Every structure is written in C-alpha cells, then in structure tokens.
Amino acid sequence: MRKKQTISSLQRLKGVEKLSMITAYDSLFAKIFDGEVDLILVGDSLNMSFRGENDTLSADIGVMLYHTKAVCNGAKNTFIVADMPFGTYTNREEALQNAIRFYRETGADSVKIEGGVEREETIRHLVENGIAVVGHIGLMPQSFRSEGGYFVKGKDEESREKVLQDALAVERAGAFMVVVEGVKEDLAREITESISIPVIGIGAGKFVDGQVLVWSDMLGFFEEFKPKFVKRYMSGGSAVREAVQNYNREVKSGEFPEEENIY
C-alpha cells in the first residue's frame, strides 16, 4: 500500500509522474481502492450511477455528506476529494459554511467546486479560510440542465478561450488542483502547460497531469452506455450477474449451502 498523498506531494508530482484518481461512493469499495490510487473522489456522479437519476443535480448536501463519510471510513490511506453538490456554493459565505460541514462531518481532505472565472471569489474565500479546493472546469455536469446536455468544450476559439481563462482563474484563486472534463486534447495540453497546479483530465486526452474515471464506468458496472473517454478494466456487471445466477441455481438445486457453510 502506498503512502497517503498530501497537497504538496501531489503538486510536486506535476510533470514528474501521472496522478491517478477514481471515484468511490461507499466504504466497501473505498476500502478496496484504498492505497491503490493517488486520490479518491466522492463525485456527485453517484446520483446517476448509484441512485439512477438522470443528472447530478438532485444530489443534495445530506447525500454527499453521507457518502463522503462512508468513503472516508473505508479509505484511510488515500487523499479524498468530496464534490460540493449543486446549489451549495451559490455565494462565498454559503460555500464556506457548506465546505466546513464536509471538513467537520467527514474526513474529506478537500472539496471540489465546478466553475472557473465565475467561482474565483468563492474558491479564494474557501482557501483563505483553510479549505483545500479542487476546481472543475470544461464540461461541468452541474450545468447539464442549463446547457441542455453534455457538450465537449474547446471546439471553437471562443470556447477555448473561456476554458483557458477558467483554468487561470481557478489557479489564481488558490485551488491546489483542477479537474478538466470533456475538452479537446490540445486545449487540455495548453492548460496543463499554462498553469502550475496539477490538471486531472476526464475526457481530456493524454497530455494532462493525471486521469480520473468513475469507478462504475471503468469496472463495467454501469452498462447502459460507455462514453468514448471510458476504458473498461473489467466487466463488473456481467461478472456479478453470473455469480448471482450461480447462487440462484445452487439455492434452487440444494447445492448451497455446502457442508463447510453449515454450523
């Protein structure tokens, strides 16, 4: 098991070694992932993959605190980032009060906030008050309804400039790391080379400082569809289905329980 990363060790690795981040939503899986990756993200993507909702927007602070606490209980040796849910950082005071709840009520090491230029003041306020912040720019899932879907960013000059300015704003505000989602690879590269904090990509190509994937996507438990940027490292859904089918068959046939399972 590797040693738990800190903000400075993560930052020192920029340009030296790629950083790996995976989401986790519960203690059971967090324990399995613990020490195997550099960071765990308690992403509000859990609202889709765990709760079956269409988007992240209905995950409220209670939901995110509950799951973050569970993940922290399971992963004691991994740096944990918790997503601040939609509607919990509409102004800097609200953001600070809610971020403090993540620190007080869970063991999260930092919080993640979507938005660039428009969140600069908020991020700065959190950082000034002792909260470690990860930014999230490019495709921002919490804008799903206001934008009418998920759209790759950086396809034209205006969009490129907007995402680049967002990256600079997040860095200026004092975030120690930024997630860049759903952008053209050359833009992600330009951002990575333009800022001094680590850039973690998802759907942002190779030329970033690290990668993040949603665990249920990369382990093949989420089967409805596979976004282009996802690589499946196992077929979790079919493996579990097969095991459950075997169990069902053995219960019906009386093969289970076996001698070793009986008191």
* Catalytic residue IDs: 181
Binding status of residue 202 toward ligand KIV by CB under 6 A: yes
- Residue for token digits 């040796």? 77
**x/- binding map, residues 69-88, to ligand KIV, per CB under 6 A?**
--------------x-----
Smallest distance from the beta carbon of 165 to ligand KIV, in angstroms? 20
Closest CA to 179 of 162, 152, 197: 197
The answer to whether residues 118 and 107 touch, using CB atoms and an 8 Å cutoff, is no
What is the Cα–Cα distance from 31 to 16, expressed in whole angstroms? 27
Binding status of residue 201 toward ligand KIV by CB under 6 A: no
The secondary structure element, H or E, covering residue 23 is: strand 19-23
Going by their DSSP bridges, the two strands 79-83 and 133-138 should be labelled as unpaired
Binding status of residue 37 toward ligand KIV by CB under 6 A: no
Q: Count residues contacting ligand KIV (CB under 6 A)? A: 12
Nearer to ligand KIV, 87 or 253 (CB): 87
Instruction: Name the residue with the smallest CB distance to ligand KIV.
Output: 43
**x/- binding map, residues 126-155, to ligand KIV, per CB under 6 A?**
----------x-------------------
Binding status of residue 179 toward ligand KIV by CB under 6 A: yes
- Considering only CA atoms, give the Rg of the chain: 20
Contact pick of 65, 212, 218, 219 for ligand KIV (by CB under 6 A): 212
Binding status of residue 173 toward ligand KIV by CB under 6 A: no
Closest CA to 152 of 122, 116, 188: 188
Q: What's the token pair of residue 66?
A: 């509950």
Smallest distance from the beta carbon of 228 to ligand KIV, in angstroms? 14
What is the Cα–Cα distance from 33 to 36, expressed in whole angstroms? 5
Smallest distance from the beta carbon of 142 to ligand KIV, in angstroms? 9
Contact pick of 214, 217, 221, 236 for ligand KIV (by CB under 6 A): 214
The answer to whether residues 81 and 109 touch, using CB atoms and an 8 Å cutoff, is yes
Residues 6+ apart with CB under 8 A from 135: 112, 113, 115, 116, 119, 123, 166, 167, 170, 171, 173, 175, 177, 178, 179
Measured N-to-C along each axis, helices 157-173 and 120-128 cross at an angle, to the nearest 10 degrees, of: 20
The interface region with ligand KIV, picked from 37-45, 62-70, 123-131, 230-238 by CB under 6 A, is 37-45
Residues that bind ligand KIV (CB under 6 A): 23, 41, 43-45, 83, 136, 179, 181, 202, 212, 214
